A and B are shown apart, each in its own frame.
Chain A
């Protein structure tokens, strides 16, 4: 059963890996290719020798993702903490509003956002992408972190208050260390969103060297109009997934903890 599930989830990834490592001919008709012409690194070479080279897009995505994640958390932590301090109907109404914002389909927003970017002169500026990313992620981040705050025993903060710790000190030294798993999982979710985001990145950025991964991958072209460069797509996907895979492997325990937190109460 487990093996079946693993196969179900891993098969597309493995197929990508395989496709990225073989020649186009081998991909189309494996039987017809001679042994020497089967495996190749040319797909990767094509990406890295392109202008601008592929690592440039990796770098762009990393920068935008890191900045968006850091700023989202910086805003979401005080919001969630403040929201948790509220009592009764105000909190409920706020949570509902946040939920509504969190589930609003992003696709409907990219045209208005493009208008905004035009009138504010935000086009073709890499870090300007962080603005919509933060705005789009903030509701979910606040909701997740509020649930995490709600799970902390209230006595802990009361004890810290009695010890004379001010609000920021209580957050910094008592509450946030205990929220590390929730913070980790929220950070991963925000980073993933920013890493995978396509419509806003496509419409806000037109200069090639500023493209983030998803629009950059979409722009990979074959040698002629009629060639679909499957191999290069696959190689780009593999390269684009690696940093995330590594990050998830490092943080996986805290992600699982964080995602199940608040499931029971809050």
Chain B
């Protein structure tokens, strides 16, 4: 299985028009979509800077793919505006938005060769043959697809199909790049290998990039910022570190981070949340706990503990020995408190 070009010399957005220079900012102003009175997405407001990669992250059915389809123009918005640079593209048909989208299924035309897949759109948009040849040649080169140009999609591996889909998207000379779970059909190892290559190709030099995934590792590895969605609502947007350390609510705190954060119920419906890596064993003071089980994770071990206030997960260096009965302690500054409504409480202690 081949990988993305490791030494990327060319730019993926060559010879692009003036609109491309530096890329444009994407602004979503309270966009939403409802189908039969059921809201799929509610009042999403976001700004994505030129060249920035923003990952849309959330459980399935949270509105990630809906957002991409609204941005692409494949589905109409029920409310709000979409601004790209100085243009309001809310009402523009998908064909004239110059949006590139890589589908989860890649959506390659199965009856056409790689070359045919890349050529069809350009040809039917009336791009002259000379220019077509030159642009396709450059893109094939960039994505190391030149030798596969005569193959049908069925004769390609998953990684190769993904690159063809990417090539077709880039040939659009996009003002906006949308990626809908582009790696979900690839095996885990290939996914990890492709991440930096995809970033190098797409991010940082031109249009804003929106990346939909349900895999938080992939999101953190790919994106400059993450936007977390649940039930069609934006929960929080920020860098991975901001979201991890200062989640606005319990959902974000639980969604990000593996092993998952510990929640200890407190009086008044409040909850104390502690990351497993912030816990450590201590002598004499702290919360009394009993060791149930240890999972060996290589450099670390995950300890499953039972306490009077509920179960706890504690992450320790794997060499460390533990007695069956112990005390657990943590730093006050690592505590996160959530109210009964799930929102984070500031300055509880």
Q: Is B107 an interface position by the 8 A CB rule?
A: yes
Please state if A177 and B124 are interface contacts (CB–CB under 8 Å): no
Chain B residues with CB below 8 A from A156, complex form: 107, 109
Please state if B72 and A162 are interface contacts (CB–CB under 8 Å): yes
Distance A132 CA – B120 CA, assembled complex (angstroms): 39
Q: Is B96 an interface position by the 8 A CB rule?
A: yes
Q: Is A45 an interface position by the 8 A CB rule?
A: no
Distance A164 CA – B111 CA, assembled complex (angstroms): 19
**Interface residues of A, count at CB 8 A:** 17
Please state if A177 and B103 are interface contacts (CB–CB under 8 Å): no
Chain A residues with CB below 8 A from B96, complex form: 164
Contact among B95, B97, B104, B109 with A174 in the assembled complex (CB-CB below 8 Å) = B109
Within 78-99 of B, Cβ neighbours of A (below 8 Å) are at 93-97, 99
Please state if B124 and A164 are interface contacts (CB–CB under 8 Å): yes
Distance A169 CA – B122 CA, assembled complex (angstroms): 12
Q: Is A159 an interface position by the 8 A CB rule?
A: yes
Q: Do A162 and B94 form a contact, CB below 8 Å, given A155-B103, A155-B105?
A: yes
Chain B residues with CB below 8 A from A163, complex form: 95, 120-121, 124-125, 168, 172
Nearest-neighbour CB distance to chain A for B154, whole angstroms, equals 13
Chain B residues with CB below 8 A from A162, complex form: 72-74, 94-95, 97, 99-101, 172
Chain A residues with CB below 8 A from B100, complex form: 162
Contact among B73, B93, B111, B168 with A177 in the assembled complex (CB-CB below 8 Å) = B111
Q: Do A155 and B107 form a contact, CB below 8 Å, given A162-B72, A162-B100?
A: yes
Distance A161 CA – B111 CA, assembled complex (angstroms): 17
Distance A177 CA – B103 CA, assembled complex (angstroms): 21
Please state if B107 and A153 are interface contacts (CB–CB under 8 Å): yes
Contact among A155, A158, A165, A178 with B121 in the assembled complex (CB-CB below 8 Å) = A165
Distance A165 CA – B96 CA, assembled complex (angstroms): 10
Please state if A158 and B103 are interface contacts (CB–CB under 8 Å): yes
Could you write out 10 A-B pairs with CB less than 8 Å apart? A156-B107, A159-B101, A159-B107, A162-B95, A162-B99, A162-B101, A163-B120, A164-B121, A164-B124, A178-B110
